[in-house]
Amino acid sequence: MARRRLEAAIQAGQTIAKGKSYPEHFSCISVDHDIKLEHEVDGVYSLQYSFDGKFLAVGCGNGTIRLYETATGKKAPDIRKSRYGGYPIMVLRFHPKNPNLIYAGTSEGQILCCDISDFVHEGQVDLSHIESDKDERWKEIIREVKEKPGVKALEKNEINCMDFDYTYTRFATAGKDLSVRIYDANTNQLVHEYTGYDNTKSPTELQQSGCAMRVFALKYHPEYDDIFVTGGWDRHLKIWDARSNDGVKRTIHGPHICGDALDLQGYKILTGSWVGGEDALQIWNYSTDYSTDRSKKPDIVPFPTGGKGPFLNAAQFCDNDVVIAGGSGTNSAMAINSKTHEVIGEVKFDHPVHAIDTTMGGRLFAVGDGGSSQGVSRGVTHLKMCSLR
């Protein structure tokens, strides 16, 4: 969540300089750019706006990484070119100390560092001098692998999530192999690893109650640099403290998270679950111990589906008590007022929504669908750049 603090500081400066005033109430959604993607990219798996909101980075199902100019919707030359049979880019994060670097986590256990410095000139977007056939702008900086008992080859992790702490000195990753790894953001060296549940060991041998199933979401607390929260298939939010050896300090039972559907805002935790019930979209209180006081319940934000079920893959907080969430139940993303439950607007797709990102408190947001199922085209894959007004 370092991203939100730095983003707010940069954009506040821009607002003061331009004399803008933001509305205190959102009333509608507009689709500013509807971008059709070729079938070969296999859908959109991850999105991330730059801290100043000028760029949108897009990670695709075949390993492609692209960059779009927010104001015009214009595509820059691919950062990482399309790969036949490539694997998805599961997560993207701009580096808070060097905003010209984008870190990308892949389902092959790689963390890639992408350099976009030649897209920016004197603080402004400048694509006029870029040659489309230039070499790709990425390199592998980390590969997460593990030894598997009885198997000679190392097992690759699937990195599903990554986040920087608010001091910008560390970042953490998690995914398929159940480990949570913390790295030094300056050297990219591993600082600590919290291993997950191991069914080959007895409970007395386990040093911590780590993740039991795949992890799909990880977010640092916006005010405490050692605290972060994870969520995944094991239906538990885990609250971690990196100062301790055992890591997990508290768990919250409930959310079944299958994508980037976890967000923090102050002492509120937003979760989007891949479930068909009315409790798919929930807001929890960070300070409440739900395990000891069963009378305490999270706030439910109704996600209208017309009987199809929400099945959410992505969710984020916005300003003015609004949340944005989307998934495979309705093949759409909706902006909903979490207090009044008013649906402000809906962005529809032909395929399930896999990725959402917001900037400027949700005034700009992007939504991408995951492409066709099993190689059968059921419509055009879209990336939609939108705004809340």
Could you report the per-residue pLDDT of 173-204, keeping only the tens digit for each? Answer: 999 999 999 999 999 999 999 999 876 666 55
> Does 171 score more than 70 pLDDT?
yes
Region 300-305 average pLDDT:
97
Q: Is 336 left (phi over 0), alpha (psi -120 to 50) or beta?
A: beta
> Does 2 score more than 90 pLDDT?
no
pLDDT tens for each residue of 76-96: 889 999 877 789 999 999 999
> Does 255 score more than 70 pLDDT?
yes
Query: For residues 126 and 331, what is the distance between their CA atoms, to the nearest angstrom?
Result: 35
Query: For residues 314 and 222, what is the distance between their CA atoms, to the nearest angstrom?
Result: 19
Sheet containing 89-94, strands listed edge to edge, beginning at the edge strand earlier in sequence: 89-94, 101-106, 110-115, 138-143
Largest CA distance in the chain: 64
Query: For residues 148 and 136, what is the distance between their CA atoms, to the nearest angstrom?
Result: 33
Helix, strand, or coil (residue 273)? coil
CA dist 60 to 100, 253, 366, 375, Å?
Answer: 20, 31, 14, 15
What pLDDT score does 374 carry?
47
Phi and psi, residue 319, nearest 5°: -75, 175
Region 129-142 average pLDDT:
78
234 vs 21, more confident: 234
Sheet containing 227-232, strands listed edge to edge, beginning at the edge strand earlier in sequence: 215-220, 227-232, 236-241, 248-253
CATH class of the domain defined by 2-388 = mainly beta
Total-model pTM:
0.92
- Tracing tokens 């994508």 back to the chain, one arrives at 259
Confidence band for 8, pLDDT divided at 50, 70 and 90: confident
Region 229-248 average pLDDT:
95
Q: Is 305 left (phi over 0), alpha (psi -120 to 50) or beta?
A: alpha
Region 235-247 average pLDDT:
94
Query: For residues 265 and 388, what is the distance between their CA atoms, to the nearest angstrom?
Result: 19
> Does 226 score more than 60 pLDDT?
yes
Report whether 201 contacts 187 (CB < 8 A).
Answer: no
Residues 6+ apart with CB under 8 A from 31: 347, 384, 385, 386
**Percent of residues, the chain, with pLDDT higher than 90:** 72
What pLDDT score does 125 carry?
76
Q: What is the average pLDDT value for the chain, to the nearest integer?
A: 89
Q: Where are the domains of the chain?
A: 2-388
